[in-house]
Amino acid sequence: MGGRCIHSQSSALSSLKLLSARGQHHRLQTRWHRLRVQAGKIPVGEKWWERCSISNMREVSGVQQFVDELATAQDRLVIVDFFAKWCGSCRALFPKLCSIAEDNPEILLLKIDWDENREICKALGIKVLPYFQFYRGTQGKVAAFSASVSKIQRIRDALAEHGTPRCDLGRVERLQEFPDVEPHLLSYPSDGKDGAKNPARELATVR
Nearest one of 162, 179, 65, 43 to 111, comparing CA atoms: 65
> From the centroid of its chain, how far is CA 161?
20
Q: 160 vs 77, 78, 110, 133, CA distance in Å?
A: 11, 13, 18, 14
Burial 45-74 (b: 16+ CB within 10 A, else e): eeeebeebebbbbbbbeebebbbbbbbbbb
Count the Cβ atoms, other than its own, within 10 Å of residue 143: 18
Residues 127, 36: one domain? no
Residues 158, 173: one domain? yes
Tell me the per-residue pLDDT of 8-45, one tens digit each, with 9 for 90 and over.
Answer: 555 555 554 554 555 554 455 445 444 444 444 545 45
Q: Which of 5, 90, 98, 167 is catalytic?
A: 90
Q: Is residue 129 within 8 Å of 118, Cβ to Cβ?
A: no
Tell me the per-residue pLDDT of 74-91, one tens digit each, with 9 for 90 and over.
Answer: 899 999 999 999 999 999
Residue 14 lies in domain:
1-46
Residues 32, 59: one domain? no
* 52 among known catalytic residues: no
Q: In total, how many domains does the chain have?
A: 2
Band of the pLDDT at 189, cuts 50, 70, 90? low
Q: Which of 5, 52, 87, 167 is catalytic?
A: 87
Count the Cβ atoms, other than its own, within 10 Å of residue 8: 10
pLDDT at 183: 86
83 or 204, which is more confident:
83
Residues 41, 66: one domain? no
Beta strands in 13-91 (DSSP E): 57-60, 77-83
How far is 140 from 133, CA to CA, in rounded Å? 10
Count the Cβ atoms, other than its own, within 10 Å of residue 4: 8
Q: In this model, does residue 53 exceed pLDDT 50?
A: yes
pLDDT at 114: 96
pLDDT at 14: 59
* 87 among known catalytic residues: yes
Residues 41, 56: one domain? no
CATH number where 97 lies: 3.40.30.10
Mean pLDDT of the chain: 78
Residues 25, 101: one domain? no
Mean pLDDT along residues 134-162? 93
Residues 131, 113: one domain? yes
Mean pLDDT along residues 114-126? 95
Residues 119, 161: one domain? yes
pLDDT at 147: 94
How far is 144 from 135, CA to CA, in rounded Å? 9
pLDDT at 18: 53
Q: For residue 136, what are the β-bridge partners?
A: 77, 140
Residues 135, 146: one domain? yes
Residues 19, 121: one domain? no
Residues 99, 174: one domain? yes
pLDDT at 194: 45
Band of the pLDDT at 203, cuts 50, 70, 90? very low
104 or 38, which is more confident:
104
Residues 77, 31: one domain? no
Q: In this model, does residue 116 exceed pLDDT 50?
A: yes
